[in-house]
Structure 1
Amino acid sequence: MTAYEPFSVWAPHARNVRLRLSDETFPMRAARGDWWVAEQVAEPGQRYGFELFDGKEWSKTLPDPRSTAQPDGVHGLSEVTDPAFPWTSEGWTGRPLAGQVIYELHVGTFTPAGTFEGVVDKLGYLRDLGVTAIELMPVQPFGGERNWGYDGVEWHAVHQGYGGPEGLKKLVDAAHNAGIGVILDVVFNHFGPDGNYNGMFGPYTSGGNTGWGEVVNISGPDSDEVRAYILDAVRLWFEEYRIDGLRLDAVHSLDDRGAHSILEQMQAIADDVAARTSVPRYLIAESDLNDPRLITGTDGGGYGLAGQWVDDIHHALHTLVSGESHAYYEDYGSLDALAKTLRGGYFFTGTWSSYRGRTHGRAIDTAAVPAHRLVTYTTTHDQTGNRAGGDRPSMTLTPAQQVLKAAVIYASPFTPMLFMGEEFGAQTPFAFFCSHTDEELNRLTSEGRKREFARSGWDDNEVPDPADPATFESSKLDWEFSQEQQEIHAAYRQLLQLRRELGLARPDLSKLAVETGTEKNKWLAMGHDDVMLVANLSDRPVTAPYGGELIWSFTQPSVELDRTSLGPWEFALIRR
């Protein structure tokens, strides 16, 4: 609720509505468009809620769907917040997505404190590593105290346990003062199951299921107000919180059938705020569609988003190094698959997918789409947490294998992203966890996870109970580094420094040279006329017909003028 305006709420499902302020109730009058308005004006700090009459009885007091603060959790009263904040980072001019190094983190497990303030304490560490933007997993309120964040229910508010609205603003302010941007992961494709009262107010959902919850109503009757609810959230994060970018969760699950895509409408808001503030604002989509329209400019018939997560590159690299080939990894595992993704981002380009049982995707026009619009990574919260035990690649791969994967990503022209802890080979898992306030929901969540992994061939005994506090506690990063972890961390820092110094983030993907050996001689060469990465993606020695002067390696390969000899999982960054 915005301070200094009359209390109001959209409630087309109600026959009558009343406002509750502390222990008193006040009538509300029906206004235009199924909105209800009270005479009382919202003042900062007031606790309030709404009660709905369905023609037979009044509901209990419900939080505001547009609440900006839930100090007592998702079932408690909402709180009026003051949008004003004493910003100290007025000199922040921002930066576009091009040239960024993103660091994805979960606020609750990134530090022992598990708060925004804890993240502030690590900003110096991240800057020294070479990070230019942090990406926060969702921070909207959820049931209980522990959650990945994808069960959010009040999309204009901030989880109180992390520090609430003021805590998030302090983090953004401190990050900008440290020269680091802030990206916020937002979920607009479903509501969480705990504390979702929106359906009592109006048709926020339209039936059907995304796999995580009911389909959000952005195309059916009364969808204009639901769209406005989402678009106002986008504007809120960009304007009031000064967030630099939004990562849009699973946009392929949006039931968007309008002539004007909601993604286009979001982009229009980003463009408007950027124009008025002279600070770049951008959108990064997560999509399973391999649809280049997301990142193609509007002049080319696309939506014009700044970037997209690209799982294909991760899958191709992961299967080669780890040897895993189950579930959605079954289509990858070859050197050719990795080479194809490095040349063009997508592996599926209107080609057959065994996992899907159909053709999938469409090729990117690499001459028209800058390479930085593809966000790549060695792992993410999904690729780690959606494993049965939440085990990280660093828990099974050798240091050489870990740094090799990082070298492939950081020597590529794409926008790189790290998942918290990978830069030092963290040995703590990142499992799926939750703490719904309804024990039945906790039981169903645990059983659902076990069924899901059983279908993918996992032993359900490997799946920890998401609601067990120990699952959450074990997922917190351990910041005491072993000697081996210090070496991995130094390698990551060196690779990111060389990426900057050598100018490896080159925009024209069509000019990137990618050559490979054979499936028996698994070398990969990627780069340009001046600088090239030569890598061995196998456990046996190889010799690649590319040589020059060694710039850096994690190990000690043999680099000659016309060839590079590499031991198992070795690489060499060479000047040609």
Structure 2
Amino acid sequence: MAELNINNRSIGVNFNNPGVAGITLWAPEAHDVTITFNNHVIPLVKEEHGYWSLNTELLKPGDTYWFNINGKQLPDPASLLQPEGVHGPSAAFDVTTFNWTDGQWKNYPLANYIFYELHTGTFTSEGTFQGIEQQLDYLIELGITAIEIMPVAQFPGERNWGYDGVFPFAVQNSYSGPRGLQQLVNSCHNKGLAVVLDVVYNHLGPEGNYFGQFGPYFTDKYNTPWGSAINFDDAGSDEVRLYFIENVLMWFRDFHVDALRMDAVHAIKDFSPKHILQEINERVAELMQVTGKTHYLIVECDLNNTRYITPADQGGFGMDAQWTDEFHHALRVTAGGEKNGYYSDFNGIADLANAYQNAYVYHGQYSEQRQKTFGTDTDGIDGKRFVVFSQNHDQVGNRMLGERSSQLFSFEMQKLMAAAVMISPFLPMLFMGEERSESAPFLFFVSHTDKELIKAVRKGRKAEFADFHTSEEAPDPQATEAFNRSKLNWGTLQQEPHKTMLQYYKALIGLRKHQSALKNTDRKNMTVATDVVTNTLVIQRWAAEQQLICFLNFSDQHQNIAVPSGVNQWQKLFDSADPKWNGPTSSPQIIDTETLMVPPESILIYTQYYA
């Protein structure tokens, strides 16, 4: 029987004792279970609660194997490596033998995280973890403190965003597998970068999903956008919960990952007395006590419900932070983006001011799109519990043509949007390539082998854009071209305007990291003034020794903005319209007047230091 062991993985095939493969499989409805490898066929012993187990010295790391359930050959649902893909045999892998050299690494305080979201397959031409390693110095020079890797759980083929994974423990073979991920994390830590891994616990992909043939991993009690929900509270759910808790602990313990970003937790259906997220939080706390290391749990959730990020002793699930899409939506509408689809609920700069002040735009108001009152109050919750961005994989890739901000907004507006994220009291995140105004799209792509599934995906993509009222055709997600077009263009680094944008982002991130008023995530140390007519914001931020004032002009005209009274003189700290950033004009170094003329689509930041 499997029992949770904080120190070692207890399901699947493991080598926790030297020379011995410990094998544990949950198959509660099976009457006969064997494992096949190297011409050996060995029966497993039935244990309590539907588990089957075996200890053998015959199975070695690197050997491929199959489980046979009632005579049917299946891969291991807890496999660590699928060398031949989702339909092939599993490979025994000893996750404990990597030679870690990151002993001096200490995770950053969450408030110091500056995220950089990337997709392994398209971040570099190689499309591997080694490719990412080769660009770590670039990311460090940019000022990034944490890379966030889109899901790496084994998916069908070699082209996928990662949210179609069907082996949550197996690291994608085409990315270079589990050893490659361990090497990448080790290198990141030795260079001073934290690693966040995107994981999916709300559904499993459709192709290569053999879970239902092992046991009740799914329940028909609830429907999700992907079909039956993962079984977190129905009959047999104890073992399903254990499976996913083991997965969380493995990434932290065996891969030294610093934080997990959990995809769409609003789609996790669990009415147990203790929600699965709360239990995960408790188990991670136990692990941290044992190891002395710090790990974070970050969730994507579209419910605007602070229960997810409220500590468990206050009735919450205890997650450390959450993605905040509504800041993005309000920012893009303010910048002149379209107001169709899910953007229809956002009304520009007033909502952006609301997002700065409340993290959520909807925190108890009526939502026309949802046709109900929506969201909860965020008072008293520190800014470091919210992650904000002007782009991410969803907001770019879920556009029909995958256009980035570089294709939708002017150069000046791109700079303003980037600064709007960096001056917030929240945690900033970049999406790969935005720092150099990347022109390549980020399209939706898959590489399924099931013809009916391919047809369904194509049909689904067309239906997804029905609300956006366009006559254009969605690119074929199955086509290799969609994947290749989505790869970053590293050859443009020394070309304009990419070169200047990169330098701009470096300066902007440096400002965030080194100015005490911007590093401060205390949301109380901020005021926001809005002028809807001129489409401008004035944001003041302060810390013990510094006060900042930020003038944001989202209009296409010069705007004369009132300077807050009570301060004798402000010194310019940052100017997005400066000619050194290919801007049109430079503003005064000192302001001691009652108003300031702010150029179109720009931000001016002035400071005063206290004696």
Q: Provide the TM-score with structure 1 as the length reference.
A: 0.96
Can you give the 5+ residue segments of structure 1 that lack an aligned partner in the other structure?
none
2:21 equivalent to 1:10: no
Task: Quote how far apart the aligned CAs of 1:19 are.
Answer: 1.3
Q: Is the 8 A contact 1:103 1:134 kept in 2?
A: yes
Question: Residues 41-190 of structure 1 correspond to what in structure 2 (within 5 A)?
Answer: 41=57, 42-53=59-70, 58-59=71-72, 61-83=73-95, 84-190=97-203
Q: Deviations over 1:402-432 (max 9, x none)?
A: 1101111101111000000000000000000
Query: Distance in 2 between the 1:189 and 1:427 partners?
Result: 32
Instruction: After TM superposition, give the deviation of residue 172 of structure 1 in Å.
Output: 0.1
Q: Which amino acid letter does the alignment assign opposite residue 507 of structure 2?
A: Q
Aligned match of 2:541 in 504, 513, 528? 528
Is 1:33 aligned to residue 33 of structure 2?
no
Residue in 1 aligned with 2:40?
A: 24
Are the equivalent residues in 2 in contact too, given 1:205–1:215 (CA < 8 A)? yes
Post-superposition Cα deviations, 1:36-81, rounded to whole Å, max 9, x if no partner, equal 223534431221111111xxxx32x211111111111111111111
Q: How does 1:422-501 map to 2 (within 5 A)?
A: 422-459=434-471, 461-481=472-492, 482-501=495-514
Query: What residue identity is the alignment partner of 1:323?
Result: G
Question: d(CA) in 2 for partners of 1:335 and 1:72?
Answer: 51
- Map of 1:538 onto structure 2: 555
Distance apart, 1:280 and its partner CA: 1.2
In structure 1, the partner of 2:324 is 310
Instruction: Summarize deviations over 1:183-238 as a string: whole Å, max 9, x none.
Output: 00000100101100010000111124321343100010000100001000000000
Give the structure 2 partner of residue 549 of structure 1: 571
Q: How does 1:381-392 map to 2 (within 5 A)?
A: 381-392=393-404
Deviation at 1:370, TM superposition (A): 1.2
Alignment partner of 1:215: what SS?
strand
Gapped runs of 5+ residues in structure 2?
1-12, 565-569, 578-584
Structure 1 residues 40 and 276 mapped into 2: Cα distance closer, same or farther (>3 Å)? closer
Partners of 1:237 and 1:197 lie apart in 2 by 22
Aligned residues: 567
Q: Give the AA of the match of 2:172.
A: H
User: Secondary structure of the residue that 1:496 maps to in structure 2?
Assistant: helix
Alpha-carbon distance in structure 2 between the residues aligned to 1:528 and 1:542? 21
Q: Which amino acid aligns with 2:134?
A: D
**Which of 219, 237, 246 matches 2:260?**
246
CA distance in 1, matches of 2:109, 2:219: 36
Contact 1:414 1:505 in 2 (8 A): no
1:408 aligns with 2:420: yes
Q: TM-score, normalised by structure 2?
A: 0.91
Name the % identity: 39
Give CA-to-partner distance per residue, 1:368-418, whole Å, 9 cap, x none: x21111100011000000011111111121111011011111011110000
**Aligned equivalents of 1:462, 1:574: Cα separation in 2:** 46
Q: Which residue is 2:341 aligned to?
A: 327
Q: CA RMSD in A?
A: 1.4
The equivalent residue for 2:602 is 570
Separation in structure 1 between the aligned mates of residue 501 and residue 410 of structure 2, nearest angstrom:
10
Q: What's 2:372 paired with?
A: 358
SS of the aligned residue for 1:173 comes to: helix
CA distance in 2 between partners of 1:299 and 1:418 (Å): 33
SS in 1 for 2:14: coil
Greater displacement, 67-76 / 204-213:
204-213
Residue in structure 1 matched with residue 219 of structure 2 by the alignment: 206
Alignment of 1:337-352 (within 5 A): 337-352=351-366
8 Å CA contact 1:143–1:195 kept in 2: the answer is: yes
Distance in 1 (CA, whole Å) between partners of 2:92 and 2:232 is 27
Secondary structure at 2:334 match in 1: helix
Q: What is the CA-CA distance between 1:287 and the residue it aligns to?
A: 0.2
Which of 400, 418, 429 in structure 2 is aligned with 1:417? 429
Instruction: State the SS of the aligned residue for 2:239.
Output: helix
Could you tell me how far 1:505 is from its partner in structure 2? 2.3
Q: Does the 8 Å CA contact 2:340/2:467 hold for their aligned counterparts? A: no
**What residue in structure 1 maps to residue 10 of structure 2?**
none
Q: In the superposition, relative to structure 1, how do residues 39 and 125 fare at CA in structure 2: closer, same or farther (>3 Å)?
A: closer
Q: Secondary structure at the match of 1:242?
A: coil
User: Structure 1 residue 557: deviation in Å?
Assistant: 5.0
